[in-house]
Amino acid sequence: MSGERRGRCPSCGSDAVTHVLFGMPADPGGLAPWMSLGGCVVDGAPSDRHCETCGYRWIA
């Protein structure tokens, strides 16, 4: 999973994008530094991407 590309923010074009993962990963130590854990209890359809530059959040 850490080989996945970060992508670009659809709002500002920055490549400083954090991927938010939901659930209980077997090996959280294997995540890329630009991936974060969002927990295992999720209500609705939360955003799974976050731009570190402009703060925009979206669902990829």
Could you tell me the pTM of the whole model?
0.74
Helix H or strand E encompassing 19: strand 17-21
Per residue in 36-51, pLDDT (tens digit) is 888 887 777 788 999 9
Contact criterion met (CB below 8 Å) for 43 and 58: no
- Yes or no: say if 39 and 20 are a contact pair by the CB < 8 Å rule: no
- Return the residue matching tokens 């077997």: 26
Q: Is pLDDT larger for residue 46 or for residue 2?
A: 46
